[in-house]
Amino acid sequence: MKIQSDFLVIGSGIAGLSYALKIAELGTVAIVTKKEKAESNTNYAQGGIAAVVSSVDAFEHHINDTMKAGAYLCHRNIVEMVVKEGPERINELIDLGVQFTQNINGLDLGKEGGHSHHRIVHAADLTGKEIERALLAKISAHPNIKIYENHISIDLITEHHLFGAGKQSHDSIHCWGAYVLDVEKNVVKTFLASATLLATGGAGQVYLHTTNPPIATGDGVAMAYRAGASIANMEFIQFHPTTLYNSGSPSFLISEAVRGFGAILRNKRGEDFMKKYDPQGSLAPRDIVARAIDTELKRSGDECVYLDLKHLNSNSIMSHFPNIYERCLKFGIDITKDLVPVVPAAHYSCGGVITDENGSTSINGLFAVGEVSMTGLHGANRLASNSLLEAVVFSHRVVESIKKNRAKGNEIANSIPNWDDSGTINSEEWILISHNRKEIQQLMWDYVGIVRSNHRLERSQRRIKLILEEVKDFYKRTKVTEELIELRNLSCVADLIIRSALERKESRGLHYTTDYPFVDDINWLKDTIIT
Ligand code: FAD
Ligand code: SIN
pLDDT tens for the chain, residues 1 to 531: 999 999 999 999 999 999 999 999 999 999 999 999 999 999 999 999 999 999 999 999 999 999 999 999 999 999 999 999 999 999 999 999 999 999 999 999 999 999 999 999 999 999 999 999 999 999 999 999 999 999 999 999 998 877 765 555 556 899 999 999 999 999 999 999 999 999 999 999 999 999 999 999 999 999 999 999 999 999 999 999 999 999 999 999 999 999 999 999 999 999 999 999 999 999 998 999 999 999 999 999 999 999 999 999 999 999 999 999 999 999 999 999 999 999 999 999 999 999 999 999 999 999 999 999 999 999 999 999 999 999 999 999 999 999 998 755 667 767 899 998 888 888 777 888 899 999 999 999 999 999 999 999 999 999 999 999 999 999 999 999 999 999 999 999 999 999 999 999 999 999 999 999 898 777 778 999 999
Q: How far apart are CA 307 and CA 85, in angstroms?
A: 35
Other Cβ atoms less than 10 A from the Cβ of 171: the count is 9
CA 380 vs. chain centroid, Å, equals: 14
Q: Which of 523, 19, 419 is nearest to 191 (CA)?
A: 419
Q: How far apart are CA 282 and CA 197, in angstroms?
A: 38
- The answer to whether 222 and 234 are in contact (CB under 8 A) is no
Q: Is 201 in the pocket of ligand 1 (CB under 6 A)?
A: yes
**pLDDT for residue 428:** 74
Other Cβ atoms less than 10 A from the Cβ of 508: the count is 25
Q: Which atom of ligand 1 is nearest to the CA of 178?
A: 19
Residue 241 phi/psi, 5-degree rounding, is -70, -30
Q: How far apart are CA 294 and CA 303, in angstroms?
A: 10
What is the DSSP annotation of 19-41? HHHHHTTTS-EEEE-SSSTT-SS
Q: How far apart are CA 515 and CA 144, in angstroms?
A: 54
Q: Which of 179, 76, 69 is nearest to 116 (CA)?
A: 69
**pLDDT for residue 170:** 56
- State the alpha helices, DSSP H only, in 351-481: 386-404, 430-447, 454-477
Cα(422) to centroid(ligand 1), Å: 34
Cα(167) to centroid(ligand 2), Å: 44
- The answer to whether 122 and 49 are in contact (CB under 8 A) is yes
Please name which ligand lies nearest the alpha carbon of 114.
2
Q: Diameter of the chain by CA atoms? A: 69
Tell me, yes or no, if the pTM score tops 0.85.
Answer: yes
DSSP one-letter code for 329: H
Q: Which of 1, 34, 27 is nearest to 13 (CA)?
A: 34
Tell the residue nearest (CA) to atom 50 of ligand 1. Answer: 201
Please name which ligand lies nearest the alpha carbon of 260.
2
Residue 530 to residues 405, 424, 496, Cα–Cα distance (Å): 28, 31, 8
**pLDDT for residue 398:** 98
Q: Is 33 in the pocket of ligand 1 (CB under 6 A)?
A: yes
Q: How far apart are CA 123 and CA 95, in angstroms?
A: 15
Mind listing the domains of the chain with CATH numbers?
2-236+350-415 (3.50.50.60), 242-345 (3.90.700.10), 430-530 (1.20.58.100)
Instruction: Please list the residues that pair with 264 across neighbouring strands.
Output: 308
Cα(391) to centroid(ligand 2), Å: 14
**pLDDT for residue 3:** 96
Q: Is 238 in the pocket of ligand 1 (CB under 6 A)?
A: no
Q: How far apart are the first and last CA of the chain?
A: 32
- The answer to whether 177 and 157 are in contact (CB under 8 A) is yes
Active site residue 286: yes
Q: Is 482 exposed, middle or buried (0-12, 13-18, 19+ CB in 10 A)?
A: middle
Q: Is 388 in the pocket of ligand 1 (CB under 6 A)?
A: yes
**pLDDT for residue 164:** 65
Residue 521 to residues 74, 147, 488, 507, 518, Cα–Cα distance (Å): 14, 48, 38, 12, 9
**pLDDT for residue 57:** 98
- The answer to whether 444 and 208 are in contact (CB under 8 A) is yes
Find the catalytic residue in 89, 259, 286, 397: 286
